[in-house]
Structure 1
Amino acid sequence: MTITHVIRSSGVMVPPSESTPSGTLDFSVMDALPIVQMDVHSIHVFRHGQEPTKLIREAVSKALVPYYPLAGRLNRLSDGSLQVNCTGEGAWFIEASADYSLESVNYFDDILLVPHDDLLPTSPPESDGLDPLVRIQLTYFTCGGYVIAQSNPHSLLDGIGAAQWLSTVGEFARGFQKSTIAPVWNREAIPTTAGVIREPGVSPPPPSMPLSFELLEPASIDISQEHINKLKNEFAELTGDYCSTFDVVVASLWRHRTQAIELEKETEVNLMFGVNTRQFLEPPMPEGYYGNCFYPVKVTISSGWLVEASHAEVVKLIKDAKARVPTEFRKWLKGDELEASDDPFSFPLAYTTLCISAWNGLGFNTVDHGWGHPVHIFPIQKDLSIMPVGALGLPPSPNKGIRVMTCCVNKKHLPSLVDYFK
């Protein structure tokens, strides 16, 4: 089936439903890191809805009262720090309709065929002088189902925060008078001294660029819950220790990807992923915090070791790296003297580096506007990736397990990677 018709409205600015505080709020030093200076795009597919546009638009307006910074505008200072001007102007909301049903495209089960250019919200015309922080498009389908697509700066909302915000929208749509989890700004809890110490006036180095670019091919890989449980049980029997779903899935992907790309044995390969560090602050970050609070984990080993190691050995390597996070994060918070080259938030963008993000446990799957949870959630990378990435998500309900959405190998190596998981 060829998908040709999605009709968008011109879009409207949705302000908070009540008056909200004005003034300026400072972002944390973590929100201003180069690694989070990007927009995050996500798509959420819902099976049922009864003319949901008006209800959800009103819910967005209500949710912007406790989340009033999201209705403001970003201000970047000359020193690179960020602020939000709490203007109360609102979020950008687009209503759209499709002339086909979600059933006809199997609820976008094949994410490689998702028409994200039709589903993701466009920005307001430049002539309007509007620069909203949050952009939402609700697309209604002939079957009564709908898709919510959101774009927002990573500096404003991390993954946990974005899921928390969308859950609050769902609660107001269901008639709640206030959100279950009260949002907390609290960016000042991350010390301004955090990070690599540099000479005054020297900016943090951006992630290093690859020497050569690889054209990366997207793929979607499903790993069943039965297989995940089997790998967990094998690790427990061999080591007497526990490992998580994240550990076994990432170990499998990293190991099989390295086998697929056929590197020389001495070649260093890197695994990168972020760990939520809210609980490692003193005192811990309160529930409801929706800014960035994470620490990057980097695991480096030779290609030869990785492809020859057992699955359990790779899992242990990942677990050991995660166990070092509390100590390393607290050291980073204190601003201990480090060379710029040791900045943990700067890493090589190379074909030998695999970057992982975990979407499966953030809370997006429990968002409910009154007609049930989404059947499918996935991130969208609008621009061609220049670094190998893998996002861990959930397969469309009612299936169990993990869906790995990757853009991590070139066309030559893609068949080998996919074959490992069959």
Structure 2
Amino acid sequence: MNFTVIRSSGNIVRPSESTPSVTLNLSAIDKLPIYRIYVHSLHVYKHGDKTAAKVICEALSKALVPYYPLAGRIKETSDGELQIACTGDGAWFIEAYTDCSLESVNYLDKVLKMPKDELLPTLPPETYGINPLLRIQFTRFTCQGFVLGITMHHSTADGVGAAQIINAIGEFARGFRHPKIQPEWDREAVPPRLVRAYGETKPFPSPPIPDYQLEPAIFNISQDEINNLKSDFKELTGDYCSTFDVVVASLWCHRTRAIELKKQTKVSLIFLVNARRFLDPPLPEGFYGNCIIPVTITVSSGWLVEASNKEVVQLIRNAKARVSTKIKRWVSSDELDESGYPYASLFAYTTLCISDWISPGFDKIDYGWGPPVQMFPIETVGIIMPIAIVGLPPTPKKGIRLKTYCVHGMHLQSLQQYYKNGT
């Protein structure tokens, strides 16, 4: 998949109105080293017009008024604590265009083969002396469809928060005078002890360098397959389960069989849960900071490869059901609780990490020409933990698309075979 992208020089987009000049504290979760990164994503829109870049750029300027911390900068205190200096400096916006239509590249359906770096925003020149917390590249295709490459600092927002921010830009682009959800900074409402969910009471060490290379793969699971798995669970248990439950259970089983571990080997599944509603009191609707916590399930490889899909789905459901109780213990107890995940296990080949890109609602963001035909995160550095990203296939297809970096080369064919035979 080759096409040429020509970028403009880019420009700083400042808030359209004056904003507070203050320094804001981040929460204990915001400040974790694993969130001191930029997250990159691509959002593919089938339709647009000649005014689309201007409309979105102006909407960004308006959105930076209620979301003024995003126009600021990360700063570090003498004690090494991160804060946001609300300087009003702005976000970074690049307009670009290509020499082809989106249809000719199948709406970027071949996500593993596209020139992703060409569609993501570059940094401002060093002469600007800034590194914006939010960067956007608008790339117009000859069909007037467009791709938004969005880069956002993770310390400012989790997935739910990022979708809220970007959706506000879409609302301003569609003519709203105010976003439907009013943003709330409120980082002090996140109990500092909630960081215990991450299983570390001291600074995280540097990630270990794995002795394996993870190979990328894409697996599409049809809606019919998902419905069959959910129906089987309902028939066997009388309970309903989610699409996430059956898809993740299936992948975890297939992946464990593919890597052929000894039966007594411990294997772990790690996924993230939105903790906002489990806090007492719950966080306000407009809170957009980091409030996702990891849930870890550990069993023996032997048990997992012999278990039925129903048993693994129930294991996941039970783990999610315990989240509320665990949060209360992490927040209220003075005793150390080691039930969070150990940081080092993230990078073990016996662990599978799950990233859910459906729940936040990125697939519904509309700038005036309809929602995206697809969107997906982009990795700009080497993947060093076994991970599967749960997303949606390009519209109008139904079902789930898994983008995985969870096995090395010698095991990839085995994993692919399971999906050829169905889930």
Mean Cα deviation higher: 326-335 or 21-30: 326-335
Normalised TM-score (structure 1): 0.95
Residue 48 in structure 1 maps to residue 47 in structure 2: yes
- What whole-Å deviation, never above 9, does each CA across 1:14-60 have from its counterpart, x for those lacking one? 00000011111111001111232221111000001112111110000
- What whole-Å deviation, never above 9, does each CA across 1:52-77 have from its counterpart, x for those lacking one? 11111000000111100100011123
Q: Tell me by how many angstroms 1:342 deviates.
A: 5.4
Residue 290 in structure 1 maps to residue 288 in structure 2: yes
In 1: Cα distance, 2:207 partner to 2:134 partner: 29
Paired residue for 1:63? 63
In 2: Cα distance, 1:193 partner to 1:266 partner: 34
In 1: Cα distance, 2:270 partner to 2:196 partner: 19
SS of residue matched to 1:413: helix
Q: Do the aligned partners of 1:21 and 1:86 also contact (CA within 8 Å) in 2?
A: yes
Paired residue for 2:263? 265
Distance change >3 Å, CA 411–CA 396, structure 1 → 2 = same
Q: Do the aligned partners of 2:2 and 2:114 also contact (CA within 8 Å) in 1?
A: no
Paired residue for 2:249? 251
Q: Tell me by how many angstroms 1:195 deviates.
A: 3.5
SS of residue matched to 1:113: coil
In 1: Cα distance, 2:311 partner to 2:280 partner: 33
Paired residue for 2:157? 157
Paired residue for 2:167? 167
- Match for residue 323 of structure 1 among 310, 321, 324: 321
- What whole-Å deviation, never above 9, does each CA across 1:101-140 have from its counterpart, x for those lacking one? 1111100111111211100111112232112100110000
Residue 30 in structure 1 maps to residue 36 in structure 2: no
SS of residue matched to 2:70: helix
SS of residue matched to 1:420: helix
Q: Do the aligned partners of 2:363 and 2:372 also contact (CA within 8 Å) in 1?
A: yes
- Match for residue 344 of structure 1 among 335, 341, 348: 341
Question: 1:5-404 counterparts in 2 under 5 A?
Answer: 5-51=4-50, 52-196=52-196, 203-206=202-205, 209=208, 212-334=210-332, 336-338=334-336, 343-344=340-341, 346-348=343-345, 349-404=347-402
Q: Tell me by how many angstroms 1:2 deviates.
A: 3.0
SS of residue matched to 1:92: strand
In 2: Cα distance, 1:235 partner to 1:203 partner: 41
Q: Do the aligned partners of 1:73 and 1:85 also contact (CA within 8 Å) in 2?
A: yes
SS of residue matched to 1:259: helix
In 2: Cα distance, 1:318 partner to 1:91 partner: 39
Q: Tell me by how many angstroms 1:216 deviates.
A: 0.8
Q: Tell me by how many angstroms 1:78 deviates.
A: 3.9
Q: Tell me by how many angstroms 1:182 deviates.
A: 0.8
Q: Tell me by how many angstroms 1:345 deviates.
A: 6.4
- What whole-Å deviation, never above 9, does each CA across 1:266-300 have from its counterpart, x for those lacking one? 11111001100100111111111111112210111
SS of residue matched to 1:111: coil
Q: Do the aligned partners of 2:295 and 2:340 also contact (CA within 8 Å) in 1?
A: no
Q: Do the aligned partners of 2:194 and 2:327 also contact (CA within 8 Å) in 1?
A: no
Q: Tell me by how many angstroms 1:172 deviates.
A: 0.7
Normalised TM-score (structure 2): 0.95
Q: Do the aligned partners of 1:190 and 1:333 also contact (CA within 8 Å) in 2?
A: no
In 1: Cα distance, 2:307 partner to 2:185 partner: 44
SS of residue matched to 1:299: strand
In 1: Cα distance, 2:55 partner to 2:305 partner: 52
The size of the alignment, in residue pairs, is 415
Mean Cα deviation higher: 74-83 or 174-183: 74-83
Percent identical among aligned pairs is 58
SS of residue matched to 1:121: coil
Q: Do the aligned partners of 1:44 and 1:148 also contact (CA within 8 Å) in 2?
A: yes
In 2: Cα distance, 1:79 partner to 1:239 partner: 53
SS of residue matched to 1:412: helix
Q: Tell me by how many angstroms 1:335 deviates.
A: 5.6
Gaps of 5+ in 1: none
In 1: Cα distance, 2:25 partner to 2:219 partner: 40
Q: Which amino acid aligns with 1:36?
A: Y
In 2: Cα distance, 1:400 partner to 1:273 partner: 23
In 2: Cα distance, 1:87 partner to 1:331 partner: 38
Aligned Cα root-mean-square deviation (Å): 1.7
In 2: Cα distance, 1:226 partner to 1:80 partner: 51
In 1: Cα distance, 2:207 partner to 2:72 partner: 32
Distance change >3 Å, CA 236–CA 409, structure 1 → 2 = same
Q: Which amino acid aligns with 1:383?
A: V
In 2: Cα distance, 1:153 partner to 1:129 partner: 17
SS of residue matched to 2:299: strand
Q: Do the aligned partners of 1:213 and 1:386 also contact (CA within 8 Å) in 2?
A: no
SS of residue matched to 1:220: strand
SS of residue matched to 1:408: strand
Gaps of 5+ in 2: none
Q: Tell me by how many angstroms 1:343 deviates.
A: 4.8
Q: Do the aligned partners of 2:2 and 2:115 also contact (CA within 8 Å) in 1?
A: no
